[in-house]
Amino acid sequence: MAEQVRKNKQTSDRSEVTAEVTATTATQSAQSKSDLDELLDEIDDVLESNAEDFVKSYVQKGGE
């Protein structure tokens, strides 16, 4: 009896797709992190420029 050799192409296809998804996710994650850092920097700038006004407006009124 002759042995049959089956080639498993699905595994290589899956790993290629996984690599693409991983690369895309990493890119999106880096972009989100960059956007978040920019937002936090902007908040820091606002707080540095008028922190006293911010604190005064933040004071709770009427026990809220």
More confident residue, 8 or 56: 56
In a domain, 43, yes or no: yes
10 belongs to a structural domain: no
pTM over 0.85? The answer is no
Q: Report yes or no on 46 lying in a domain.
A: yes
* Helical residues (DSSP H) of the chain, grouped into ranges: 9-49, 51-58
Per-residue confidence (pLDDT) for residue 7, from 0 to 100: 61
Q: How many domains does the chain have?
A: 1
Whether 32 is in a domain gets the answer yes
Q: CB–CB of 53/46 below 8 Å?
A: no
Residue 11 confidence (pLDDT) = 62
- Tell me which residue range forms the domain holding 44: 28-59
| Assigned domain for 33 exists | yes
pLDDT band at 35 (very low <50, low <70, confident <90, very high): very high
In a domain, 11, yes or no: no
Q: What is the pLDDT of residue 64?
A: 54
